[in-house]
């Protein structure tokens, strides 16, 4: 038998039950799942997860209050007065960079 060590962790009971139900449907034991996770940590030299905050979604007009909409419109007016304008290509590029759209 291979040289093994025990791993102990405390996790939420509901999370454990839900995860083990899915693992069972996949035919994978909890020990095998942990072994897979550890193997991926070693292979990738980090967590095999894409850990990042979800992208910020642009605010829609329907989601704004009247005061909020007025404030945003006034920002636009002030930008025009100061000559700070953007081409449609610049706006599209910024939306693509910031929101992925």
Q: How far is CA 34 from CA 8, 55, 77, 80, in A?
A: 11, 29, 57, 57
Residues 12 and 38 in one domain: yes
Token readout for 53 is 């905050």
Indicate if 88 and 47 belong to the same structural domain. Answer: no
Q: pTM higher than 0.75, yes or no?
A: no
Domain match, 47 and 69 both: no
94 in the same domain as 69: yes
Domain that holds residue 2: 1-52
If one counts the domains in the chain, the total is: 2
Instruction: Note the pLDDT of residue 30.
Output: 95
Half-sphere exposure of 23 (CA within 13 A, CB side): 14
What 8-state DSSP symbol labels residue 60? P
Identify the residue whose tokens are 């605010």.
59
Regarding whether 11 and 47 lie in a shared domain, the answer is yes
Say if CB 64 and CB 72 are below 8 A apart. yes
Q: What mean pLDDT do residues 28-48 have?
A: 94
Asked if residue 35 and residue 6 are part of one domain, the reply reads: yes
Look at residue 14 in the predicted model and tell me its pLDDT.
92
**Listed residues 52, 72, 88: the one ending a domain:** 52
SS3 content of the chain, % helix, strand, coil (to 5): 60, 0, 40
Q: What is the pLDDT of residues 44-86, one digit of tens each?
A: 999 888 877 766 777 788 888 899 899 989 998 998 899 888 8
């Amino acid at each position: 038998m291979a040289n093994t060590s025990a791993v102990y962790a405390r996790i939420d009971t509901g999370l454990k039950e839900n995860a083990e139900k899915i693992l069972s449907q996949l035919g994978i034991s909890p020990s095998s799942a942990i072994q897979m996770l550890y193997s991926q940590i070693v292979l990738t030299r980090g967590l095999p997860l894409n850990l990042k905050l979800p992208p910020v979604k642009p605010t829609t007009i329907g989601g704004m209050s009247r005061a909020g909409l007025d404030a945003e419109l006034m920002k636009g007016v002030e930008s025009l007065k100061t000559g700070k304008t953007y081409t449609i290509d610049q706006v599209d590029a910024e939306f693509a960079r910031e929101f992925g759209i």
